[in-house]
Amino acid sequence: MKQGFIRTAAATPKIIVADPKHNAGQVIEMMKQAWGEHAKIIVFPELCLTGYTCGDLFLQNSLLQEARHQLSVILQATRELDIIAFVGLPWQEGGKLYNVAAAVHRGKLLGLVPKTNIPNYSEFYEARHFVSGSRKPVWVSWEGGKVPFGSGLLFVCTTMPGLTLAAEICEDVWVPCPPSIDHACAGATVIANCSASDETVGKDVYRNSLITGQSARLICGYIYANAGEGESTQDLVFGGHNIIAENGTSLAVSKRFTSGVIYGDMDLERLAAERRRLTTFPAASEGCREDYVSVEFALEAEELRLNRFIDPSPFVPRDTGERDKRCEDILSIQAMGLKKRLEHTGSTRAVLGISGGLDSTLALLVTARTFDMLGISRDHICAVTMPCFGTTDRTYRNACTLTGKLGAELREVNIKDSVLAHFRDIGQDPSNHDVTYENGQARERTQVLMDIANQINGMVVGTGDMSELALGWATYNGDHMSMYGVNASVPKTLVRHLVRYYADTCGEKELQAVLYDVLDTPVSPELLPPENGVIAQKTEDLVGPYELHDFFMYYILRFGYSPSRIFRMALHGFGKEYERETILKWLKVFYRRFFSQQFKRSCLPDGPRVGSVSVSPRGDLRMPSDASSRLWLKEAEELS
């Protein structure tokens, strides 16, 4: 439960129709099992204490009284369990019968949530026995006391900020305006659904889409527990299809036609961050809660050993098909952005530096696609290679070969003499390989590109990626500057997959071969002399692994997570790939560089946004250049 993670459960007991004593025993055993697995929330099916398929037996007082008695048995048997459960049963009140979900915790009945939408069609004739409950809660008698009864109940955990539960029952989520919409607007972050949905061909696909879609629309966790084995098969078969979803993602889905418990570790901080970020999500104001009653309960906080999958590459889909689709979409977005800018300026020429590295390769591929869209010959693309002190034969050869295979114009401008002349002008010793030595080369390259663009009435296409911008790994007014940055919102881990996707789908063996060699080349700005003809300056040796930095960047910018939380997630996501000390070292480096280098991002050129994270100062990252990193670094230091 610490840092917003909480284990949830959806259970399908193997019931006996019209035998509440047996069914209560099943519920108690499953609650104990879930508690033993450190679950804090468990949801059971609709009317599970009696069975959903009792038919006219629901009109028998003996069955109703026994169900009520067995609810009391459940409360007594689970007094020591630190878990909140939602259990379905029939409830007689005021001369009418209601289909309710009873919220129970540590031997106490917290409240009763009646079903709002009562079906009366085809195979479901609930209106023959049950009536709809009202939203505004009333107080009803229970064992010498009073409990709230109504669909407008919010169960608020006082010991875990961000955990507010509400419930709806089966049909409620299938209607055009489910009660869960109002629940979420009133502040509920997790919805429990006690359900009895029968199985027909294809219904499971729709059901899964419905539940995950509802969790996405409401930015909530959703626990759906369905009736299963043991229900009467007189007309219907129930498959026990249980689903635990979070903001559009299925955390756990049970196999159908089985009984048992499934678990899903929800991330409440993620839900809170999403609701905070999206200004269109309504505030949980008093107006939203007008017909609601809040019922408080407490859960003991504990360190949860996560069973949740944390993707170490959040920018890169794991599924090959989905990854290929994303690559195609991103290449199209990049090309369409550049196409519009060229059309708007009336330019038919593009200029970019080609180094034989990943970023400039991607930029050239995007530019070639753009010119194909515009119907302009690719020889209007001017790719400039600018060898200097750190250039290796391998990258030079790849730059030249790639440009030729794509049909672009290749220009070579050796900048050694220009840089040495500049060093003489400013009194820089060429043997001193300091930051001036490196940045002097980077700025000379940008000056060459800009001036060639003036010569041919072209536009300089930027090559730098988002990971470099987040770290400030760019020379101010050097590779930092362009007239349109096509890679500006593409993280380094995704650049590699975009180039590989292009190589795999281009259909040209020679072009494919050079792209594969670019992919195998170490990432480097090549600003220091090579050692024995091999790249000496490897970026990831200096600033750290890009896969770690992209992981940090995603969760810092997308969700605003704290250093301690990101560190914990990185330890879980990367497993044994990195030592604890290594992850922490580069996390500190990321925070230091991210804050200190904001001034570079404050004046970035235009570039297309391709995903949910971007560092553009015009919309996605409104950050002061002089902000202090002390708060974040202090927390990171305390993790040591």
CATH number of this structure's domain 7-297, picked from the four choices 1.10.260.40, 3.30.479.30, 3.40.50.300, 3.60.110.10: 3.60.110.10
363-367-369-374 Cα dihedral, nearest 10 degrees? 160
Burial, 265: exposed, middle or buried (Cβ in 10 Å; 0-12, 13-18, 19+)? buried
For residue range 327-349, list pLDDT tens digits in order: 999 999 999 999 999 999 999 99
Nearest to 112 by CA among 129, 95, 97, 127: 97
Identify whether 382 is a catalytic site residue: no
Q: Say yes or no to pLDDT of 395 above 80.
A: yes
Nearest to 190 by CA among 91, 58, 60, 299: 299
Question: Using CA atoms, how far apart are residues 243 and 616, in angstroms rounded to an integer?
Answer: 38
Catalytic residue among 46, 66, 126, 526: 46
Q: Say yes or no to pLDDT of 539 above 90.
A: no
Task: Kindly report the CATH number that applies to the domain delimited by 320-637.
Answer: 3.40.50.620
**What pLDDT score does 301 carry?**
86
Mean pLDDT of 407-434: 97
Catalytic residue among 48, 54, 157, 170: 170
Domain ranges within the chain, ordered by starting residue = 7-297, 320-637
Catalytic residue among 48, 66, 115, 269: 115
- pTM over the 0.85 mark: yes
Q: Say yes or no to pLDDT of 535 above 70.
A: no
**What pLDDT score does 575 carry?**
82
Identify whether 115 is a catalytic site residue: yes
**What pLDDT score does 404 carry?**
97
343-347-348-350 Cα dihedral, nearest 10 degrees? -110
Structure tokens at 161: 């900020």
For residue range 502-529, list pLDDT tens digits in order: 999 999 999 999 999 999 988 776 667 8
For residue range 282-295, list pLDDT tens digits in order: 887 666 778 899 99
